[in-house]
Amino acid sequence: MTFKKLDPAIRDLAQGKNFGTLSFMLPSGRIASHVMWVDADDEHLLINTDLGRIKYDSIKANPMVTVAMWKADNPYAYAEVRGRCVAEVAGEDAREHIDACAMRYTGGPYAMPIEKGRVILKIAVESQRSQNL
């Protein structure tokens, strides 16, 4: 499978204080969508979640996902990335990442209880599109 380079405008959207919706397939075959904090590096969208969540187990079983994101101040400026989870980062790096995301989104450290540990899911791009970015 050949992956595409993440569009810089979409990367910038993901690195801002903008929300996204992560859609993935549950074991039952139904689609679930969760509003999430999003982030990106130069190649991947980054989703940080708890190892004990259904989204983590579901994505491990079927790594295909879609992430839709929109600008906080203009929902008509948005992007959609279809791709797959190709890697994960756990441990202290994932914990530091969720704290950095919390600072960006809330202005303080991550305040929710961490059950089994944090993990960053790296989403590689299969297709992407944007509007008004």
**9-59 pLDDT per residue, tens:** 999 999 999 999 999 999 999 999 999 999 999 999 999 999 989 999 999
Q: Are 69 and 78 in contact (CB under 8 A)?
A: yes
- Domain count of the fold of the chain: 1
- Write the DSSP symbol of residue 86: E
Q: Angle CA(12)–CA(38)–CA(100) in degrees, nearest 5? A: 90
* pTM recorded for the entire structure: 0.95
Please report whether residue 2 resides in a domain. Answer: no
Please report whether residue 13 resides in a domain. Answer: yes
Please report whether residue 43 resides in a domain. Answer: yes
Given pLDDT bands bounded at 50, 70 and 90, which one contains residue 115? confident
CATH number assigned to the domain comprising residue 39:
2.30.110.10
Please report whether residue 68 resides in a domain. Answer: yes
In degrees and rounded to multiples of 5, residue 113 shows phi and psi of -65, 140
Given pLDDT bands bounded at 50, 70 and 90, which one contains residue 76? very high
Please report whether residue 109 resides in a domain. Answer: yes
Q: Which residues of 74-97 are buried (b: 16+ CB within 10 A; e: fewer)?
A: eeebbbbbbbbbeebeeeeebbeb
Q: Which residue is associated with the tokens 């202005």?
A: 107
Please report whether residue 67 resides in a domain. Answer: yes
Mean pLDDT of the chain: 97
Tokens of 49: 């979640």
Is 113's pLDDT higher than 90?
no
State how far the alpha carbon of 58 is from the alpha carbons of 4, 25, 30, 96, 107, in Å.
24, 6, 11, 24, 30
* 26: containing domain: 8-128
In sign, the C-alpha dihedral spanning 85, 86, 92, 97 is negative
Please report whether residue 15 resides in a domain. Answer: yes
Please report whether residue 133 resides in a domain. Answer: no
